[in-house]
């Protein structure tokens, strides 16, 4: 887990923007924290967040696309933790490719906060709990909001 070189997550002025937050239900102890931090980032920025849950990370892209069609930005949250099979690689690749495609096809920024970790401890360290090294829920929401604001200035 790196985290080196990442910018500070400072809430921009995003009053009036809408954010769709889609989160997997797997690893609820982690994803609940990611959601709470993403919603906090939206609140800090003055944006309105709508949270929806899906069964697992593979279901995130299809709902993210529906949200991208009606929101100014989307935040995708989940926790995929490596197991004993190649399933981890397939899920991570599929979700990442799907979210990238949605962002480009819909011209809506998608903050990717789907954690892809080797261990549960790594996921906890990235979830934004007090004392954790990273805060991916908050950071993903801020990145999506900053990009939505930038896109508005370019259009």
**Residues forming the annotated binding site for (2S)-2-hydroxy-3-oxobutyl phosphate?**
84-85, 126
Catalytic residue among 69, 87, 101, 152: 87
CA distance 153 to 80: 35
In terms of Cβ atoms closer than 10 Å to its own Cβ (0-12, 13-18, 19+), residue 145 is buried
CB 135 within 8 A of CB 8: no
109 and 47 Cβ atoms separated by less than 8 Å? no
49 within 8 A of 21, measured Cβ to Cβ:
yes
87 catalytic residue (yes or no): yes
Helix 87-106 to helix 60-68 angle (10° resolution) is 10
What tokens were used for 63?
């709902």
Query: How much is the CA Rg of the chain, to the nearest whole Å?
Result: 14
Q: Which residues are catalytic?
A: 87
């Amino acid at each position: 887990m790196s985290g080196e070189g990442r910018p500070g997550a400072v809430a921009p002025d995003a009053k009036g923007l809408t954010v769709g937050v889609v989160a997997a239900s797997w690893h609820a102890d982690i994803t609940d924290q990611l959601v709470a931090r993403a919603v906090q980032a939206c609140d800090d920025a003055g944006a309105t967040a709508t949270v929806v849950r899906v069964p697992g990370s593979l279901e995130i892209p299809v709902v993210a696309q529906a949200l991208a069609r009606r929101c100014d930005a989307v935040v995708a949250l989940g926790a995929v933790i490596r197991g004993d099979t190649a399933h981890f690689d397939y899920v991570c690749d599929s979700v990442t490719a799907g979210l990238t495609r949605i962002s480009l096809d819909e011209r809506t920024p998608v903050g990717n906060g789907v954690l892809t970790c080797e261990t549960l401890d790594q996921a906890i360290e990235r979830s934004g709990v007090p004392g954790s090294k990273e805060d991916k829920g908050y950071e993903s929401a801020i990145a999506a909001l900053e990009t939505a604001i930038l896109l508005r200035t370019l259009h």
